[in-house]
Amino acid sequence: MAAVEATAVSPEELQAKAWEGFAEGNWQKDIDVRDFIQKNYTPYEGDESFLADATDKTKHLWKYLDDNYLSVERKQRVYDVDTHTPA
């Protein structure tokens, strides 16, 4: 997608440049997210090699959550819920 230059342009020109590179569709006239995605989505065919490893801060947070919340949830599973009695 081309960058919009900082020069003075009309609102019509700006609108045209804003959507440059996108496939046309019903999404331009109506709020149609499904149409926009279907016309402009490109599946990623690669592998996970582009992902970075979790940071130390993230690993620390997950350990904290596992130690203090997730492990407790695993031990105290909910087996039945009364949906008829208000709490």
Spatial contact of 20 and 27, defined as CB atoms under 8 Å apart: no
Domain ranges of the chain: 11-40
Share above pLDDT 70 across residues of the chain, in percent, rounded to a whole number: 87
Q: Write the DSSP string, 29-72.
A: TS--HHHHHHHH-----S-GGGPPPPPHHHHHHHHHHIIIIIHH
Task: pLDDT band for 78, please (50, 70, 90 cuts).
Answer: low
The model's pLDDT over 57-69, given as tens digits with 9 standing for 90+, comes to 999 999 998 888 8
Looking at residue 8, what is its pLDDT?
76
Looking at residue 86, what is its pLDDT?
80
The model's pLDDT over 24-37, given as tens digits with 9 standing for 90+, comes to 999 888 999 999 99
| pTM attached to this predicted model | 0.42
With CA atoms as reference, report the closest residue to 21 among 44, 38, 7, 39: 39
